[in-house]
Each structure stands twice: as C-alpha cells, then as structure tokens.
Amino acid sequence: MSNKSYLCCTDYPDICPSLGMTGFDATEHVRAVGVYCVPLAWLALFGPDSLVTKVIQIPGNEELSIRGDGTVEVISTNTYSYTITAPIASRELCIDRLESNIPLLETLLQQPAGSLALHGACLQAALEQSPGEYATIELQEISCMEGETNFFVNLRMVLEWFEGIENPQARRAARALGDLDLNRPIGPPRSFSTDSNLGDIDARNQENLIGSGYHDVSQG
C-alpha cells in the first residue's frame, strides 16, 4: 500500500471512482497526489455536507498454485468489504467554495492573510482544467494511518471549520491530516520550480498543503 491520497475529477457521481467507475484513467482523472497526508488546501473545496459513506466490495478471485509434487491447485480468495467516508461535490461548487475557504484556512493555520492565495490559485487552475463534473478525494490508502476513527473525526472537524463551526481542536486536527510543520513559513507554490535551495522540510510543507501535480501559476 502506497499511503497516498488522490484528488480526482470525473463524471462518476460517487466517491472512490477508481474502484467503481468504468473507464477510470489515473493519468486523466487524478489531478493531484498527497503522500502520507491529505493536502489541506483540498479540504477547502468541501464542507461537512460533502461527506459520503459507502461500503466498498472487493471481489475475490482464483489463483493457480503449483504444489511441490508438480500438481496445480486452484486457490480462491473470498470477497471482502470495508466502509469508507470521503467528500464529493460538483466541480463548480468546489471552485466557488475555494474562494471563501482559503482565507479560513489561513486563519486555521495562523498564516498571514493572503499568504495562501497562490496555493488556492494552483488548486483552482487544476480544477478548471479538469474533466468531469465531480471532485472527490480518494482516502482509502491513508485513512488507516492514524486509526480510522481518529482520521474521520479530524476530517469532519476541519470541514466543519469551513462552515463556521469553530473547535479548539481544529488546528490540531488539520496538522494531523496535513502533517504540516507550522513552525516554518509556507512559501509560494512557485518555489517548487524556481527555488533550487528549498530545503526538504519546506518542500514537504508545500506539498502537504497543495499536493503535487499542479499547474504552476508562476509559468502562466
């Protein structure tokens, strides 16, 4: 398991399009990737009303195994299921929410006003250039990292912050989801391509805020 989160845009009107959508193509439908985290700017696209819970069915299959005596044995694996919660909303609604939620994210992370505007612009460009009517985050690979109960409590807490429901634990929840080091400044996203001296921690901070794979606003 690679422990990544994926920001996806598709015409599939449900969460987990990689598992349920016919014709899902990661090169086309995955717009950005987070590693060992949920990049926090992605959460600015959604509210608590965006959360959907579903049961995922993983079908069993049959595999051939060669015994020591050379005979072939058919081994069947059982179908299993698990429950996953993730946000989904129309791409247009996500773009609308982004404008009002980026300033709220700055407040949540105690960053200067306007300091995350370019990060929001990167995210907006990625969405505007995306195919598909719906945006969602695939969380299957990382929801187990902190324990699923804690993970989804933190996720809802941060989304509720964007709806004006303040909670003294919301900043801790955001740091747990995004794995940010807020003792260091968060530079503009163009630093990925123009600042060769960007240290590992600062580069990681930027990636944990917006993910990787974005249109670079510094290049127009």
What are the structure tokens assigned to 175, written together? 């740091």
pLDDT in tens, 163-217: 999 899 999 999 889 888 878 777 777 544 444 455 677 778 888 898 887 654 4
pLDDT in tens, 96-142: 999 999 999 999 999 999 999 989 998 998 899 888 999 999 998 88
Q: Pick the closest to residue 159 from 84, 211, 85 (CA basis).
A: 85
Domain span at residue 98? 4-55+84-219
| Residues 161, 138: Cα–Cα separation, whole Å | 21
Residue the block writes with tokens 């985290």: 37
Please indicate, yes or no, if residue 214 is contained in any of the structural domains. yes
pLDDT in tens, 46-86: 999 999 999 887 776 667 777 777 777 777 767 778 788 99
What are the structure tokens assigned to 185, written together? 């400044």
Q: For residue 91, what are the contacts with CB-CB under 8 A and spacing of at least 6?
A: 9, 127, 130, 132, 133, 134, 135
Taking the whole predicted model, whether its pTM rises above 0.95 is answered as: no
Q: How far is CA 10 from CA 1, 65, 163, in A?
A: 23, 38, 25
Please indicate, yes or no, if residue 69 is contained in any of the structural domains. no
Residue the block writes with tokens 């804690």: 150
Please indicate, yes or no, if residue 61 is contained in any of the structural domains. no
Chain centre distance of CA 5: 4
Please indicate, yes or no, if residue 104 is contained in any of the structural domains. yes
Please indicate, yes or no, if residue 201 is contained in any of the structural domains. yes
Please indicate, yes or no, if residue 68 is contained in any of the structural domains. no
Q: Pick the closest to residue 203 from 219, 189, 183, 218 (CA basis).
A: 189
Rg (CA), the chain: 19
Whether pLDDT at 157 is above 90: yes
Please indicate, yes or no, if residue 76 is contained in any of the structural domains. no
Provide the domain count of the chain: 1
Residue the block writes with tokens 């060769």: 196
- DSSP H or E segment with residue 190: none
Please indicate, yes or no, if residue 12 is contained in any of the structural domains. yes
